[in-house]
A = this chain, B = another copy of it.
Amino acid sequence: MTSLGDRYQAVRRATEELCAPLSAEDCGVQSMPDASPAKWHLAHTSWFFETFVLESAPDYRVFHPAFRTLFNSYYNAVGDRHARPARGLLSRPALTEVQAYRRHVDQAMARLLDDEVARAPVAARVVLGLNHEQQHQELILTDIKHAFWMNPLRPAYCAPPPERRAPPETTATPALLSWHERGGGLVEIGAAESADPGAYFAFDNEGPRHAVWLRPHALATCLITCGEYQTFMADGGYRRPELWLSDGWDAAQAGAWNAPLYWEQRNDGRWWCLTFAGMQPVAAADPVSHLSYYEADAYARWAGARLPTEAEWEAAAAAAAAPGAAAGAERNHLESGWLRPLPAAASATAGGGPAQLFGDVWEWTQSPYTPYPGFQAASGALGEYNGKFMCNQMVLRGGSCLTPGSHIRASYRNFFAPAARWQMTGLRLARDA
């Protein structure tokens, strides 16, 4: 079994490897208030360990007193914080200084984690910090993608591998959308509290585990593809208000939306989209991504279907992820290195069950992000981690091709405002039985 110290090192190193293709200048750019510079992510994830683990450790020397404010994201209980939209103005500290900050924190953490007596009381916080860092790994990628989109040169994050456009097992015979029927009744969702916190991690917002009454319904076996989405576009999807929520229609008009984010139409009428390998032609069989909730909802209405609730999704995913279920092997997560959603292979849905539940793209659900029955945020600063955002956001499930595979699970609840498009967000249809 991996020690906590080893796991700490692995996660921290992974973050740095994600930044390796980026220059110091790339790492400093903030393309909109919702996004942060990679340098800020590198520092903030270190700040998290410094603030919530190391500051109470004996002999720990704070790296720089100003960092407590500079790299505080949103913890009012920790004190002041640098204004979020101004994160891109921080040419100092330099990237090299932030890297030194990481090494400083890592060395102190290594000492702490080596010490069995000192480790025990902070272990839960360390695990939280590692999960926190994994969340920022995905954000580093989505934020730099947005920054590159704002640059007319449309830079590539990395070169496409030679075989880039053809993972044989998926594009050869892509799956067709069919329906996976599921009965109704009382189901339990949410993460149960574990007797051994080291054995299993879940964020506080995933619990308490609780009963939900479901009606019979069906879930689509695959994600909606770019080709299907283009049919919606061709059918006037972006010009027909009757397909849209009122706020969604307003957002679409205000933003002049006529396609997913990162898509642009060339003079020959073909659509291209920004990928981590630069601009690429849109591939019909790929899952569509970079949709807002509003677009996902409009698509579902156009298709005569709806989005799943988070309970419907989780019940299905828990079954699929149960011991003996086969889905895991084909997951497309960060570790796969594709950095783009992949088509479902026909073989994956041959058994009638849903494919692509994990990885590829986050799936918008129709569920607003609210506290589960009985939820209580922790007291103190860490209680701010999730609870205070339980309003005006929608739940997404399943992780994406940018999510570390060890970070996702059936009960995982991601959440974004319904107009957000810069995440790797797509959709799966559902319908009443």
Contact = CB atoms under 8 A, between A and B. Distances in A.
Contacts of A95: 25
Given A150-B86, A370-B368, A373-B432, A26 B210 contact: no
Contacts of A432: 373-374
A162 interface: no
Contacts of A27: 25
A32 to B, nearest CB: 9
Interface residues of A, number: 63
A152 B70 contact: yes
B93 A153 contact: yes
Contact of A155 (B92, B147, B297, B374): B92
A77 interface: yes
Given A89-B31, A432-B373, A153 B66 contact: yes
The number of times this chain is found in the oligomer is: 4
6 contacts: A26-B92, A28-B29, A69-B152, A70-B152, A77-B242, A368-B368
Interface in A331-374: 366-368, 370-371, 373-374
Interface in A84-104: 86, 88-95
Contact of A29 (B88, B151, B389): B88
A167 to B, nearest CB: 29
Interface string A2-36: 00000000000000000000011111110100000
A210 to B, nearest CB: 7
A143 to B, nearest CB: 12
Contact of A152 (B66, B210, B215, B368): B66
B90 A151 contact: yes
Contacts of A155: 91-92
A77 B14 CA distance: 49
Contact of A25 (B94, B215, B247, B384): B94
Contacts of A384: 242, 246
A392 B26 CA distance: 35
A391 interface: yes
A249 B74 CA distance: 12
A319 interface: no
Nearest to A240: B76
Contacts of A164: none
A236 interface: no
Interface in A283-298: 293-294, 297
Given A370-B366, A418-B391, A89 B151 contact: yes
